[in-house]
A and B are shown apart, each in its own frame.
Chain A
Amino acid sequence: MSVKLTEDMLKAFPDARGHFGDFGGRFVSETLMDSLMTLEKEYLRLKEDPEFQAAFDKDLADYVGRPSPLYFAERLTEETGGAQIWLKREDLNHTGAHKVNNTIGQALLASFLGKKRIIAETGAGQHGVATATVCARLGLECHVFMGAEDVQRQSLNVFRMKLLGATVHAVESGTRTLKDAMNDAMRDWVANVDDTFYIIGTVAGPHPYPLLVRDFQSVIGRETRRQALEKTGRLPDALVACVGGGSNAIGMFYPFLSDETVQLYGVEAGGLGIDTGQHAAPLCAGRPGVLHGNRTYLMEDENGQIAGTHSVSAGLDYPGVGPEHAWLKDIGRANYVSVTDDEALDGFRKLTHVEGIMPALETAHAVAYAIKLAATMDKDQMVVINVSGRGDKDIHTIAQLDGIGI
């Protein structure tokens, strides 16, 4: 099933209760309801406030370094032998990933709301670093919750956060990864709700987070649209982005949703293979449920217990996904696919060798799928990969897989 989404229809999502069709909503304990309703009210007001928007745009330009380039990957295109492959260079942002677009926006919101204490969850550490960065700049107290397993495999980012003045809390409960970090961030928020702003890093969580994170990240797709028209005189035929929680993907997709000719591909972490169960691909292999404040596709067992996930990339190692993606899947507007750890590692090496651009392991999933996709398309067609982050943080993981000690 596929429906044509008009601009007017898009304005109706999410609805007043934060629902995208059957997904989204606000499933939290009562203590947080008042804060979420206040946040929603204030955000909807500030969204229309020229002063707030000007402050956001100025930071994106002067602090983040936007617009990020749309780059024609000529050698990768030649080697692939299909559609033109273009790269949206979010890896060139300050702090090295798309995450900072959102943390700038939410930190501004926190300042407007007068909150001085910031908390965040992080998987790969990119969102943690981006949050610690804006907190350093604005003089805000920063606490980052990170699964103990991720603290180990992303030690470089842990050190970066500490250098930036953040307190990093290693979360030992549950599976010791991103979902548990989010649980502990929520627990901290409940206990400190009066003075604390929770900067959620992805398009999941209770309403209005999926809405406001999508809005802040949509700068990616707006720029891509404009740059594609300027450089090629047309819109791309396909957009490819990796999906963990899905913030870089929704940021890229959203401004194109009513452009029927643009195919959207979200690439989930296939881990050791979907059929092994060792993956992090809820849209490809999960079912609807409720976790972390919203209804969405989840990886869970038959009793509704959340399943452990596996991915070589810490940033995709999450059993849920943003509710807007769940909705786009069900209405058939976006395609959700997966690539395995091994395929992603091949994508990492390919982009590094052929273009001299080292992508994050998360991004490498999108690269791997885009190469496969482009090969099936005509030479006059155009694919854009959202290069959501750079790979420096993953050097240790890659070296370890290669048996090299550094």
Chain B
Amino acid sequence: MSRIEAVLKNLKSESRKALIPYITAGDPAPDQTVALMHTLVRAGADIIELGVPFSDPMADGPVIQLACERALKHGTSLRQVIAMVREFRETDTDTPVVLMGYLNPMEAMGYEAFADAAADAGVDGVLTVDLPPEEADQVAPLFAERQLDPIFLLAPTTTDERIRAISEHSSGYVYYVSIKGVTGSASINVEEVASKVAHVHELTALPVGVGFGIRDAKTAAAVGRVSDGVIVGSVLVDTIARNQADPEALNQALTDLLHPMREALDSLAQ
């Protein structure tokens, strides 16, 4: 059983929901990322999605675009991101880490070299925004052999036929994109998301995480009620941007943001 599967199974047995924060690796600076990951865990993260910066993040709004630019200014490479996970693993062997990014840095490194290095460093899953399952035939066996969970997106526009097909290519969880739009763009319609996620649950046995548009404890709880976990990205990255000059203030601000979400999600179990 993969680390992701184990964590989600355990949460389910306690009727709890996963809190999955996203930050961009190397933002605001590469030497701060591992410490920030530990902060996220202390504030209640169950799984971390670690963004791999890319020069042309087409599915991201301005907040994550700027995070990529900050990280790339320091030359943060995919190899360095993998090294950050390795360092994180020295003191945390429980929290699953999913690398989230775009295909080209992985292609430039070489799929096999990437899969080897990622698995060896303790990466658990890989979410490649611009790699639909149709184009994943090269990477899928490499990931499977190394027990890296391939995590794919589902969108409001995804047909039932595709939901089934995508779920078959996925392991760990599927990521439901709650809105039509880029990251950090709009607020979500909880009722719409609820009915769509309920429908996704009918079509797949995999846990469903919901992301895009979750910015506070209230939306986290509303989405948590209908899903297996919530993914929180832009609001965290924005907090990093606003506190980048002061690491201590940043730690506190991230904790203040995540902790109420954790409590709100856990209150659903009672």
Taking CB atoms, residues of chain A closer than 8 Å to B162 are 33-34
Contact of B182 among A174, A190, A290, A306 (CB under 8 A): A190
Taking CB atoms, residues of chain A closer than 8 Å to B191 are none
Per the 8 Å Cβ criterion, residues 172-194 of B in contact with A are: 177, 180-182, 185-186
In the complex where A290-B103, A290-B107, A306-B55 touch, is A31 in contact with B157 (Cβ < 8 A)? Answer: yes
* Smallest Cβ-Cβ distance to B53: which chain A residue: A305
Residue among A187, A298, A306 having the largest count of chain B Cβ atoms under 10 Å: A187
In the complex where A31-B180, A34-B158, A293-B130 touch, is A304 in contact with B105 (Cβ < 8 A)? Answer: yes
Fill in one digit per residue for A300-335: 1 if any B CB lies within 8 Å of its CB, else 0: 101111100000000000000000000000000000
| Of B131-139, B214-222, B232-240, B250-258, the one with at least 4 CB within 8 A of chain A | B131-139
Does any Cβ of B come within 8 Å of A94's Cβ?
no
Does any Cβ of B come within 8 Å of A193's Cβ?
yes
Query: Could you tell me if A304 and B104 are in contact, using CB atoms closer than 8 angstroms?
Result: yes
Query: Could you tell me if B104 and A290 are in contact, using CB atoms closer than 8 angstroms?
Result: yes
Taking CB atoms, residues of chain B closer than 8 Å to A303 are 77-79, 105, 108-109
Taking CB atoms, residues of chain A closer than 8 Å to B152 are 30
Query: Could you tell me if A27 and B72 are in contact, using CB atoms closer than 8 angstroms?
Result: no
Does any Cβ of A come within 8 Å of B270's Cβ?
no
Does any Cβ of B come within 8 Å of A167's Cβ?
no
Does any Cβ of B come within 8 Å of A143's Cβ?
no
Query: Could you tell me if B108 and A174 are in contact, using CB atoms closer than 8 angstroms?
Result: no
In the complex where A187-B61, A289-B108, A304-B105 touch, is A28 in contact with B182 (Cβ < 8 A)? Answer: no
Shortest distance between the CB of A405 and any CB in chain B (Å): 35
Does any Cβ of A come within 8 Å of B210's Cβ?
no
Query: Could you tell me if B135 and A26 are in contact, using CB atoms closer than 8 angstroms?
Result: yes
Taking CB atoms, residues of chain B closer than 8 Å to A192 are 180
Contact of B58 among A25, A33, A187, A191 (CB under 8 A): A187
CA distance A121 to B135 in the complex (A): 25
Query: Could you tell me if B107 and A191 are in contact, using CB atoms closer than 8 angstroms?
Result: no
Taking CB atoms, residues of chain B closer than 8 Å to A193 are 157, 180
Shortest distance between the CB of B150 and any CB in chain A (Å): 13
Does any Cβ of B come within 8 Å of A358's Cβ?
no
Does any Cβ of A come within 8 Å of B106's Cβ?
yes
Number of interface residues of A (CB under 8 A): 38
Taking CB atoms, residues of chain A closer than 8 Å to B131 are 27
CA distance A290 to B129 in the complex (A): 12
Contact of B104 among A17, A173, A190, A300 (CB under 8 A): A300
Does any Cβ of A come within 8 Å of B112's Cβ?
no
CA distance A33 to B161 in the complex (A): 12
Query: Could you tell me if B108 and A300 are in contact, using CB atoms closer than 8 angstroms?
Result: yes
Per the 8 Å Cβ criterion, residues 82-128 of B in contact with A are: 102-109
Taking CB atoms, residues of chain A closer than 8 Å to B104 are 289-291, 298, 300, 304-306
Shortest distance between the CB of B187 and any CB in chain A (Å): 13
Query: Could you tell me if B129 and A29 are in contact, using CB atoms closer than 8 angstroms?
Result: yes
Does any Cβ of B come within 8 Å of A186's Cβ?
yes
Shortest distance between the CB of B62 and any CB in chain A (Å): 8
Does any Cβ of A come within 8 Å of B156's Cβ?
yes
In the complex where A289-B107, A303-B77 touch, is A33 in contact with B157 (Cβ < 8 A)? Answer: yes
CA distance A289 to B107 in the complex (A): 7
CA distance A31 to B153 in the complex (A): 9
Residue among A26, A183, A305 having the largest count of chain B Cβ atoms under 10 Å: A305
Contact of A190 among B55, B62, B105, B180 (CB under 8 A): B180
Fill in one digit per residue for B193-219: 1 if any A CB lies within 8 Å of its CB, else 0: 000000000000000000000000000
Query: Could you tell me if B132 and A26 are in contact, using CB atoms closer than 8 angstroms?
Result: yes
Does any Cβ of B come within 8 Å of A179's Cβ?
yes
In the complex where A174-B56, A183-B58, A303-B77 touch, is A29 in contact with B153 (Cβ < 8 A)? Answer: yes
Binding site for B on A (CB under 8 A): 17, 25-35, 173-174, 179-180, 183, 186-187, 190-194, 288-293, 295, 298, 300, 302-306
Beyond the given A32-B157, A191-B180, A290-B130, please list 7 additional residue pairs across the A-B interface where CB-CB is below 8 A.
Answer: A26-B132, A27-B131, A180-B56, A190-B181, A191-B181, A289-B104, A298-B104
Give the 6 A-B residue pairs with the shortest CB-CB distance, closest first: A304-B108, A304-B105, A191-B181, A31-B155, A30-B153, A303-B77
Q: Can you report 14 A-B residue pairs in the complex whose CB atoms are below 8 A from each other?
A: A30-B157, A32-B157, A33-B132, A33-B162, A35-B157, A191-B181, A290-B103, A291-B104, A300-B104, A302-B108, A304-B105, A304-B109, A305-B55, A306-B56
